[in-house]
Structure 1
């Protein structure tokens, strides 16, 4: 429908270091972002519904003005399962999630 929902962090990342970033959206539309296991952002935007769309789904970009200057590895998108639904810290996984 042309809507966007954006969740941003103002936290800076250490250079030359890997970071674990997790983002979840629960059935109530609450979006959370964790950095290295610590909750960094929690928000319920008015337009957080996910739509079937032919538009782009973008990660690491804020419209056309701010692009990620770094690398991403092992990205996983899971539909139908909210892996993290807490406002607390999360354990950084040491193994892959199961495929179910």
Structure 2
């Protein structure tokens, strides 16, 4: 019984390995051929902007408002810390 189980397991293992026997190079070449585009980057950007303006893009609470991407203004304390850090760096490089 044990020998039969081992033989069946080995046969299944070999069959599974053969099913996934495609090399990485073949997969990469197939992907590159499939992904060839006829549009330029500028055309894609223009299409995306037009679709966004027309409301054709899927949106959710994560990407409805892009205000979270805008840099925030730095307050005086942060600016003072940044200036001090730059000064320290300049002092260290001067020595």
Smaller-chain TM-score bracket: under 0.3
More strand by share: 1
TM-score normalised according to structure 2 size: 0.16
Relative contact order (alpha carbons < 8 A, sep ≥ 6): 1 or 2 greater?
1
TM-score normalised according to structure 1 size: 0.16
Q: Work out which of the two has the higher radius of gyration on C-alpha atoms and give 1 or 2.
A: 2
